[in-house]
A and B are shown apart, each in its own frame.
Chain A
């Protein structure tokens, strides 16, 4: 894909040209499927998210001003769509009652586990994330993959910053534990 080709099709989308929309849809579909897959393991739902996201992409295409990367722009729309979709699952996050304690605990664990060898596939990670509750999963995703700060996550999910931090710490620990147990299984084989 050349930059020019992409540019031409973005222009085409701005003029509502169907062929350009198709091109963009097919070019980014899988990538965006991968983005939304991080938020839920339900592939029907992922498909809905991606389609919904592309509808937003095409109806708001005029808002893309060529300043940043187009992929990044689409990705942001997808993440927002995914969040909107799962927000109702995440309305009851575990609250952060003992923020500081928990964080200290997690930090200590991390220090101990610093040298754990990381050699996991995308599917290992997705499996580990599937074990998380929707709320944990959302926070983990937003923080790790989509570069949101805890403040932003709190705003997006309608939770407190403390809850975001605490959910993240717990999610991180769970993901790591799941990955580590996989590792052990591999070793045992």
Chain B
């Protein structure tokens, strides 16, 4: 038979990588996408804002979305039979139970369900509640055969009371359901498969002709190495920033049971909804092990590359004083963060519109720099700008450069034995007339043209200091040439 397919194989192969000569029309598509985005409420901008906020202000929630199949054994009451753990029974995984109709009068007649998974085989049993069976299971019908493919999950629907089964492989069997029986009725199905299956039982009540309802029991064989992505398994891969708490949660786990999280960087947690801080950038696999309370079955699921942790910037700042008078100074703030793509300045909790600001003298100002890198990861640097006058710099208000050896020179006392760097400049209006960084070279009142400063004139001086600890301060005031 395989040879018969040869020409089909060749036909198929001729399409490998086939790209017709057509033009993609992005703008037409984009308008469709826009319609979609608007109707779903989040514009791209909003998303960006949201994601920035997420990175900035706290825990990144990873919707681990480890879907119901992880945890739903607790949604089920395990029956006595399950306590009998025979050899070869490796686990019990019953996933989702939903009643198609919440309308109580047509409740589906089932009491509990169990499945047992042997190697390569799952057998399923539905026990019907006799009282309910008598009431509404009078007519079970509708058949579909489970089709187990590697590719898709599919649906079992049992035909009852006469089950006919179509499809490949071993015949599925069903037996025992008697209409209106006072006894428990059993339907057993067994089928070999490797992936995931859903079982749906449809009932039709004579009193509700045409009104279908179903119990859906979904179980997943969890040998997930060979299964493809499970339909119920929603993982949203998220980015986080190094140093930011990431929170994890399992959907639907609301009862007892124990959980072990492996965060992929050597960190573990047994909390149901832990938070974890990644110190280093990288891509991490998350593994969750869940132990069922009843039979102690441990199931483990790893999500590769679930979290991408982005590097955090190291915010650094400095500032300059391009302009100052005795009352106010212009401060130019400089973001020196490596790889910063944006920066926000806060002085005394006020947002700055740009990086230059006028500050009153004297005063002490608390500066925050929030620097973001290209990944939207942020860091904050904090510093204080101190602006002082002659009082803080311990400088005289006047001096008399007349050669009498008394108050002949000007130098703020602050710089005597100062631990750090400093620079003193003297200004005549906007013109710098003197500069020194040596405490033994004070200003003697001489101007650049060689003549002495005239008596009665006031000059502005600025003293910038930088301590060994890196603290930078500015002192600005006036000095009067006295006679």
A residues at B contact (CB < 8 Å): 11, 14-18, 21-22, 25-26, 29-31, 33-34, 37-38, 43, 47, 51, 54-55, 58-59, 62-63, 65-68, 107, 110-111, 114, 116, 118, 120-122, 125, 144-145, 147-149, 151-152, 154-155, 160-161, 172, 175-176
CB <8 Å contact, A25 and B24 = yes
Q: 26 A-B Cβ contacts within 8 A?
A: A14-B236, A15-B239, A16-B37, A16-B42, A16-B47, A18-B30, A25-B29, A29-B24, A30-B20, A33-B19, A65-B233, A66-B304, A66-B305, A67-B304, A116-B7, A125-B11, A145-B12, A148-B151, A151-B145, A151-B147, A151-B149, A151-B168, A152-B151, A152-B154, A155-B152, A172-B8
Q: Is B51 an interface residue (CB 8 A)?
A: yes
Cα separation A25 to B229 with both chains bound (whole Å): 23
Contacting residues, chain A, for B47 (C-beta < 8 A): 15-16
Contact A22 B30, beta carbon cutoff 8 Å: yes
B273 contacts chain A at the CB level, 8 A cutoff:
no
Which residues of chain B come closer than 8 Å to A148, judged between CB atoms? 151
Which B residues are in CB contact (< 8 Å) with A14? 236-237
| Complex alpha-carbon distance, A144 and B8, angstroms | 7
B6 close to A31 (CB less than 8 A): no
Q: What's the minimum C-beta distance from A94 to chain B, rounded to whole angstroms?
A: 19
Given contacts A16-B47, A151-B147, A152-B152, contact A161 B32 (CB under 8 A): no
Q: How far is the CB of B348 from chain A (nearest CB, A)?
A: 34
| Closest 5 pairs (CB-CB, A-B) | A29-B24, A30-B19, A151-B147, A110-B4, A34-B18
Give the residue of A33, A34, A51, A107 whose beta carbon is less than 8 angstroms from that of B32.
A51
B residues near A15, Cβ cutoff 8 Å: 47, 51, 239
- Interchain CA distance A154-B144 in the complex, whole Å: 11
The binding surface of chain A is classed by DSSP as: helix
Q: Kindly report which residue of chain A lies nearest to residue B155, judged by CB atoms.
A: A155
Q: Is there contact, CB below 8 Å, between B14 and A122?
A: yes
Distance, CA A110 to CA B154, complexed state (A): 33
CB distance from A164 to the nearest CB of B (A): 11
CA distance A42 to B308 in the complex (A): 43
- Judge whether B149 and A149 touch: CB under 8 Å: yes
- The residues of B that contact A63 with a CB separation of less than 8 Å are 229, 234
Minimum C-beta distance from B202 to chain A (A): 16
**A55 lies within 8 A of B167 (CB):** no
**Of B12, B15, B25, which one neighbours A34 at CB under 8 angstroms?**
B15
State A118–B4 Cα separation when bound (angstroms): 13
Tell whether A65 pairs with B229 under 8 Å between CB atoms, given A34-B19, A161-B167. Answer: yes
Contact, CB under 8 Å: A176 / B303: no
- B42 pairs with A55, CB closer than 8 A: no
Bound complex: CA A125 to CA B8 (Å): 11
Asked whether B208 is an interface residue with its Cβ less than 8 Å from the other chain, the reply is no
Measured between beta carbons, the chain B residues less than 8 angstroms from A11 are: 237, 239, 308
Tell me the bound Cα distance from A125 to B19 in angstroms. Answer: 14
Choose from A21, A116, A125, A155 the contact partner of B147 (Cβ within 8 Å). A155
Give Cα A15–Cα B47 distance, bound, in whole angstroms.
7
Q: How far is the CA of A145 from the CA of B30 in the complex (A)?
A: 30
Alpha-carbon distance between A62 and B303 when the two chains are bound, in angstroms: 13
A68 touches which one: B32, B228, B239 (CB < 8 A)?
B228
